[in-house]
A and B are shown apart, each in its own frame.
Chain A
Amino acid sequence: MGPVGRKLWLIVLIKLFIMFAILWLFFFPDIMQERFSTDSERSEHIINEITKP
């Protein structure tokens, strides 16, 4: 593998680390999974959200 290839692999690995180990873990929780434990609670929440005046 040439120097360009090594550099690209390094960029890919750093990028994936930032995306999954930092951003996804600390900044992007799945709101519906985190705030509600069952699908019926999630459905009820969305019905309330979309029907409130």
Chain B
Amino acid sequence: MEEALVDWSRAQFALTVIYHWLFVPLTLGLSFIMAIMESIYVKTGSLKWKKTTQFWMTLFGINFAIGVATGIILEFEFGTNWSNYSWFVGDIFGAPLAIEGIMAFFLESAFLAVMFFGWEKVSRKFHLTATWLVALGSNLSALWILVANGWMQNPVGMHFNPETARNEMLNFWDVLLNPVAVDKFLHTISSGYVIGSLFVVGISSWYILKNRHIAFARRSMLIGAVFGIVASFFIVLTGDSSGHHMAKTQPMKLAAMEGLYEGDEGANLVAFGVLNPQKEVDNDADAFYFRISIPRLLSLLAERDMDAFVPGMEDLVYGNSKYNIPSAETKMKRGSLALQSLKSFTREKKAGNDTLAEAHLKTFRENYEVMGYGYFEDPKETIPPVGLTFYSFHFMVMLGFLFVLLFVLVIWSNMNETIEKKRYLLRAAVWAIPLGYIASILGWVVSEVGRQPWTIQDLLPVGVSTSHLDVSNVQTTFWIFAVLFTILLIAEISILTRQIKIGPK
């Protein structure tokens, strides 16, 4: 496939998914924060909590209205730019996306109407139920799309049909409960909760800095910060679980995240470091100019054993017989055999030579798990961009810990009545809003850049997934999306800012 076409298709998808993701996490997080605030209102009957809930619900509504349906563009792209991939994944991708559409449409939209327009029309308890169901519905919508993404990172529960060239679902529960999908779902929604918390804490801090709506702001920021602490705890837990599963399913991604070239027993975790850009798997240069490491922590996180071996990129490319790790070249030979036998199977089947076709099919089945390696000419093609993966991961983690510190200081200062004097903390909280979005996008960069060159791990590389299109077509739609989404983002920020300046009633 033409390299420029693959790169532009990739860039277009990255652009649309990043813009889409700017709207989603606030919906995920703020919906629960609103539901908690409204629960306090229903429990206490205090009107100040009703007004607090309604203010945040207005901001939620602005974000929801501007972000709604931006994800549908990704589905357009599947059919046009990624048609090979879309056909190949078959119903594995179709089923979760269809459920996502139904969930999003029925659960969210039905209860969204009650939530926005039903304050004076339904009972308090019914309204509260609607708010909680909007929160659950939007999070469940995220579940299905993340199940589909999890399957791409760790394809399970399916069977490839060589006659239709499609994967067919064998076991729905294997796909749904795929450990990579479960981790991804929990980790992603938790990051949305942290963004929702940062949003509430940051805007509340702005009001205190401006000496406006102090009581409202302190009330809101306490809920936001406590929710943020709880969500951060879940992020750490699910991140740890992701790393553990990644060691088994995507060891190359884990090695790239840590800049680990040579595997080690009792491998250290790099807390921070500066990579040497000259370092490759086939030279002896040092991997880092500078690093601060935590002894043996990587082995503990990856294998739950401080002395366990964690393979590096060199082990995965060249193999390591001591630890029974096959080289990329061995997998390339098997992948090539899978592709040849698939071709031969199709030819013999068409010619009516069923016995020969069966023999080729058997060879194909034996090697299908590494079929994607058959497309590579150089084992080094199996390595993702190390610098981007490494720095994205480490900046994301650092920002995550900074947010925890921020939430702790906000809770502490709010409880001991000193928050209004801590101008530096209030300013930091305002700046933490964009940093939250940056951290979340960095997380997606780790997930998606770190799994390159694969669209579907070990089965289908990105270069084979794209459709044959004119590059200029993809460039045109890239720029249309860039303009459209930028206008939407400007509209969101300007309407939100105006509403925040007006403040709660």
User: Which A positions have Cβ atoms within 8 angstroms of B?
Assistant: 4-5, 7-9, 11-12, 15-16, 18-19, 23-24, 27-33, 39, 42-44, 46-47, 49-51
A28/B80 in contact, CB under 8 A = yes
Given contacts A27-B480, A51-B343, list 16 more A-B pairs with CB under 8 A.
A12-B68, A23-B480, A24-B76, A28-B79, A28-B80, A29-B80, A30-B79, A31-B83, A33-B79, A46-B88, A47-B165, A47-B343, A47-B346, A50-B84, A50-B88, A50-B464
Q: Is B237 an interface residue (CB 8 A)?
A: no
A48–B66 Cα gap in the complex (Å)? 42
Identify B77's interface contact among A15, A28, A50, CB under 8 A: A28
- Of all A-B residue pairs in the complex, the 5 with the closest CB atoms, nearest first, are A28-B76, A46-B165, A31-B83, A8-B65, A30-B79
Min CB distance A44 to B, Å, is 8
Closest residue on chain A to residue B62 by CB atoms: A8
Q: Is B86 an interface residue (CB 8 A)?
A: yes
Which residues of the partner chain A approach B495 to less than 8 Å between Cβ atoms? 4, 7-8
Closest residue on chain A to residue B467 by CB atoms: A31
Min CB distance B39 to A, Å, is 25
Closest residue on chain A to residue B161 by CB atoms: A43
Which residues of the partner chain A approach B473 to less than 8 Å between Cβ atoms? 27
For this complex, 17 residue pairs linking A to B, each with C-beta atoms less than 8 Å apart, are A5-B61, A7-B495, A12-B68, A15-B69, A16-B69, A28-B80, A29-B79, A29-B80, A30-B83, A31-B79, A32-B83, A32-B87, A33-B79, A43-B87, A43-B165, A49-B84, A51-B342
Q: Is B58 an interface residue (CB 8 A)?
A: yes
A4–B346 Cα gap in the complex (Å)? 59
Min CB distance A31 to B, Å, is 4
A4/B499 in contact, CB under 8 A = yes
A43–B164 Cα gap in the complex (Å)? 5
B79/A32 in contact, CB under 8 A = yes
Interface code B286-312, partner A: CB below 8 Å = 1, 0 otherwise? 000000000000000000000000000
Q: Is B428 an interface residue (CB 8 A)?
A: no
Min CB distance B304 to A, Å, is 38
Q: Is B488 an interface residue (CB 8 A)?
A: yes
A30–B97 Cα gap in the complex (Å)? 17
Which residues of the partner chain A approach B86 to less than 8 Å between Cβ atoms? 32
Identify B166's interface contact among A23, A31, A43, CB under 8 A: A43
A5–B61 Cα gap in the complex (Å)? 9
Which residues of the partner chain A approach B339 to less than 8 Å between Cβ atoms? 50-51
B72/A11 in contact, CB under 8 A = no
Which residues of the partner chain A approach B488 to less than 8 Å between Cβ atoms? 11, 15
Which residues of the partner chain B approach A19 to less than 8 Å between Cβ atoms? 69, 72-73
Interface code B72-109, partner A: CB below 8 Å = 1, 0 otherwise? 11001101100110111000000000000000000000
A11/B166 in contact, CB under 8 A = no
A13–B467 Cα gap in the complex (Å)? 31
A5–B477 Cα gap in the complex (Å)? 30
Which B residues between 158 and 193 are near A, CB-CB below 8 angstroms? 162-166
Which residues of the partner chain A approach B69 to less than 8 Å between Cβ atoms? 12, 15-16, 19
Min CB distance B295 to A, Å, is 45
A27/B476 in contact, CB under 8 A = yes
A11/B491 in contact, CB under 8 A = yes
B65/A23 in contact, CB under 8 A = no
Which residues of the partner chain B approach A32 to less than 8 Å between Cβ atoms? 79, 83, 86-87
Min CB distance A23 to B, Å, is 7
Contact status of A11 and B76, CB under 8 A, knowing A32-B83, A43-B163: no
Min CB distance B376 to A, Å, is 12
B87/A46 in contact, CB under 8 A = yes
Q: Is B47 an interface residue (CB 8 A)?
A: no
Which residues of the partner chain A approach B163 to less than 8 Å between Cβ atoms? 43
Which B residues between 434 and 483 are near A, CB-CB below 8 angstroms? 460, 464, 467, 469, 473, 476-477, 480
Q: Is B484 an interface residue (CB 8 A)?
A: yes
Which residues of the partner chain B approach A8 to less than 8 Å between Cβ atoms? 61-62, 65-66, 495
